[in-house]
Structure 1
Amino acid sequence: MSTLDLFEGLQTPTQAIESLAQQACVLRGFALPFVEALLPALDSICAAAPFRHMVTPGGFSMSVALTNCGRLGWTSDRSGYRYSAIDPTTEQPWPALPTSFLALATAAADAAGFPDFVPDACLINRYQPGARMSLHQDKDERDYAWPIISVSLGIPATFLFGGHHRADKAQRVPLFHGDVVVWGGEDRLRYHGVAPIREALHSVLGAQRINLTFRKAG
């Protein structure tokens, strides 16, 4: 039996599905059965590739701290946004995608109607109170046929899920520890973001929200 097989028997609450659009939804509490395995894996990733506040092409430091795992990692600096196999901070390959991460990503994609999804990148965002993510599209991936899988851990956040134009009104979706948002297909290029994080304290993760965002980037 492979290590991945050990996760197949986990009972995930797939019945708690909230539709956001035709091919976008929130899987409430879906990640909770995986958390015990996710957190030590997360600690190992952050020890090898520490969180950092990347700089945008416009020269602004992002309020959200970021690291990555997987074959590719997303980076930003004055020269632009891109995926790279090498961590520019450590000059080493990004840490491998842990089995627990992969099991969660594939299970969530399947539950949302996107079978056969195998991510090669996981962006790990750390939001502390006051941090936010402005509305944007995920357009740096090579193939938009694959969905985005976004996992919330820690303190609550308000997810902004907009339309195909920046000016479109965005839904305000409360997200809690263990919730997973999935969007793909005709909704893959919708604008989305995160409202400023409010002061709060999670019993395990403290005053922070960790967001795992799985993509097929290469």
Structure 2
Amino acid sequence: MDAELFPRERAEVAPGAVHVPDWLTGERQRELLAACREWARPPAGLRTVRTPGGGTMTARQVCLGLHWYPYGYARTAVDGDRAPVKPFPPWLDDLGRRAVADALGPQAVPAAPYDIALINFYDGDARMGMHRDSDERDDAPVVSLSLGDACVFRFGNTGNRSKPYTDVALRSGDLFVFGGPSRLAHHGVPRVHPGTGPRWLGLSGRLNITVRVSGG
């Protein structure tokens, strides 16, 4: 996947939901990967998320700004080592705002700064069930960045977890933004394709960085 005959085109998957292939440069991907590796270290590092019903998420997670747990936010890793959550860096707000402007236009850039991030790590067997990002108090667009292995990203509707939905192939460096009428659409990752990430990145697995406005 390092080279293709035809470049991939940006696409509006649903109203307010846009996929921008190859948005991150190679250098920016390396910088983000290095940052993710630092964020994943304890304290308040990468953890397995347990659901209220006793199950576990197969994708592991680390948070910035505020700590997400099912189903709310806290200032400490309440379902982990209880350490204070790592700070959200201002440069990630800049990146998120630029992403929204590029995908949806400058009018969609939120007035409030981006201040929380959820970073999910997927190995080859990890999945993410259909869900909505509904625990924030602000309806600013969600910014999603992909690093490493490609995946199937399933983007659905706001009413339920089933059809209609659209499957999108997300690869390393891709941007996906969803806001407006699609802000509360169900979405998930039914499949990761191991070994498909760019060799020069040096990442085995997939990282997904989602940036949000808490509204808190």
Tell me which interval the TM-score lies in, with the shorter structure as reference length: 0.7 to 0.9
Question: Separation in 1 of the partners of 2:122 and 2:91?
Answer: 22
Q: Residue in 1 aligned with 2:192?
A: 197
Residue in structure 1 matched with residue 120 of structure 2 by the alignment? 125
Question: Partner residue of 2:98?
Answer: 107
Secondary structure of 1:47's partner?
A: coil
Q: Distance in 2 between matches of 1:44 and 1:127?
A: 17
C-alpha distance in structure 1 between counterparts of 2:89 and 2:35, whole Å: 7
Change (3 A) 1:47 1:134: same
Taking the TM superposition and a 5 Å limit, the aligned residue runs for 1:83-98 are 83-88=73-78, 89-98=80-89
CA deviation string 1:135-178 (max 9, x = no partner) = 1111111122x111111000001100011222222111000000
- Quote how far apart the aligned CAs of 1:58 are: 1.0
Over the matched positions of the two proteins, sequence identity in percent amounts to 31
Partner of 1:59: 54
Paired residue secondary structure (1:25)? strand
Q: Which runs of 4+ in 1 moved over 4 A?
A: none
Cα gap change, 1:100 to 1:208, in 2 (>3 Å): farther
**TM-score (normalizing by structure 1):** 0.84
Are the equivalent residues in 2 in contact too, given 1:64–1:132 (CA < 8 A)?
Answer: yes
RMSD across aligned positions (CA): 1.9
Q: Which runs of 5+ in 1 are unaligned?
A: 1-14
User: 2 CA distance for matches of 1:43 and 1:123?
Assistant: 14
Q: Does 1:38 align with 2:32?
A: yes
Report SS of the residue matched to 2:173.
coil
Matched, 1:206 2:196: no
Aligned length: 198
5+ unaligned residues in a row in structure 2: which ranges? 1-7
**More deviation in 174-183 or 158-167?**
158-167
CA contact (8 A) 1:66 1:126 kept: yes
1:57 is displaced (CA, Å) by 1.2
